[in-house]
Amino acid sequence: MLGGAFLGIFSGMLSGYIPGLHPNTFFSEFDPTYLDREDVLTFASACSAVNVPLSKVESMFLGVPDDQASVAVLIPLQRYTIEGRAEEAARLVALGTLSTGFFAAVALPYIVKIVGPMYVASKPIIPWLVLTILALQTYDNGLRGLAVFSASSAVGYVVLSGPLDVASPLEAMLSGFYAIGPGLSCLMNRTSIPKQRPGKPAISGKELPKCGILAALAGCALGFLPGLGPANVVSVLTRLGVDTTERYLLVTSGIDAADAVSSIVALHALGNPRSGASVFIQRSVGDITYPEVLASVGVYLLVSVLGAWLLIFSTRVLGGVLSGARARVLTGTVVLGLLALMTFHGLGSLGTAIACAGIGIYALRSGVDPSLCTSALALPTALKLLGVG
C-alpha cells in the first residue's frame, strides 16, 4: 500500500508541475505488473489527490496577461497572480478542494445508492446536456467565443476521428491549448509577473459550506458529462449565485475533488469508468467492492491534505522566484520542451499542438474563456453518443 501511495504522490506531482503532462498519461501508459490490487487503488487515488490542487500552478504562472483589464475576463487565478496575491488564490483552491472532499465523503453512502438510478435516468439526455452547456458558454463569450468553439471543435473532430496519425491526441491538444499557446502569448507580450506577497483569503464562515455543498453536487453531476471540466460550467454556476472570484475558485476547485470521488463510486455502482483513474483501476483489477471504495476515498482525502499543502508551499516559492524576466525564461523553456516532445511523438502530434496553440492564443487575446477550447473533446464525444459521425 505504501508503495502505491508514494508512486501515486510522485506521479501526481509530476503531472501537476509539468505543463502539458496530464495524469491520464500515466493511467493510459502505465501498466505495472508488480503492484497488487491494494497498491493499484492507492496509486490511482493518491495521484488524483495530488494532481487536483497542483494542476492550478500552471494556470497561475503560465500565460499570465500583461494587464489587469484582460485578466478580468480570463482565468480568475491569474487575476490574483497579476495582483501579487497568488498565495491567497492557492489557499482558496485548497479550501475548496478539502471542504468539498469532506462533503462528498460524508454523502458517500447516499451517492452509492443514487448514482445508478441517476445514471440510467440521465443517460439518454447526457449528450444534449453537454451540447447545452457548450452552447450556453459560447453564447456568454459572443462571436469570438463562437469562433473559438468552432475552431476547437473542428480540430478535435479531425484529430479524434480523422486520418491523422497523432500518437497521443489528448496530450497534443491539451498541451497546445493550455501550455504552448499561453506560453507563447506570454513571451510575445513580454509579460512580467509581479512579486507575490503572503496573504489569506477573507471569506465568511457561511461561504465555505455553501460552496462546498454546491461543488459536491455539481462534481457528481459533472462526472456524467464527458469532455467537460469545472470551468466549462461557469456559465451555469454564475446563474446559481457563484458571482465572485472567491466563490468561483472555491466551487471550481471543489468540483474537481467531487468528480474524483464520484468516479470511484461510479466504477463500483455502474461498472462504468468515467475518468482516467477509474479506467486504469478497471483495466488493472476489474470491478471494485464497496469496502474498496471506502478505502480509496479515504486515501484520496488523506493525500489531498498533502496536495493542498504542496500547492500553497509551491505558490509561495514560485511567487518569490518567478518575477520579471525569470518567468519568461522558464516559460520559454517549457514551450521549447513541449514542442520538442511533440516533435518526438511525430508530425501529427506537432501539427495538432501548434494548431491548438494558435486557437489558445486567439482565445487569450480576444478575451474568450480558454476553457471553451475543451469543445475539441466535448463536442466529438457528444456527437458520438448521438450516433453522428
The 3-class SS string of 203-258 reads: CCCCHHHHHHHHHHHHHHHHCCCCCCCHHHHHHHHHCCCCCCHHHHHHHHHHHHHH
| Separation CA 337–CA 77 (nearest Å) | 24
Locate the domains of the chain by residue range.
2-55+70-385
Give the global pTM: 0.79
* Concatenated DSSP letters of 149-191: HHHHHHHHHHHHHSS---S-HHHHHHHIIIIIHHHHHHHHHT-
Q: What is the pLDDT along the chain (389 residues), one digit of tens a residue?
A: 777 788 888 888 887 777 666 666 666 566 555 567 888 888 888 888 898 888 888 778 776 665 554 444 456 777 788 888 888 888 988 988 888 888 877 777 777 777 777 777 777 888 898 899 889 889 888 899 999 999 999 998 888 887 777 777 878 888 888 788 888 887 777 666 777 788 787 776 677 788 878 888 787 777 677 777 777 776 677 666 666 778 888 888 888 888 888 778 777 777 766 666 777 777 777 778 888 888 888 888 899 999 999 999 988 888 777 666 566 777 788 888 888 888 888 888 888 889 999 998 898 888 888 888 888 888 888 888 888 76
The dihedral built from the CA positions of residue 319, 20, 304 and 95, taken in this order, carries a sign that is: positive
The dihedral built from the CA positions of residue 358, 359, 364 and 370, taken in this order, carries a sign that is: negative
- Using an 8 Å Cβ cutoff, are 96 and 211 in contact? yes
- Using an 8 Å Cβ cutoff, are 311 and 90 in contact? yes
- Rounded to 10°, the helix 245-270/108-122 angle is 80
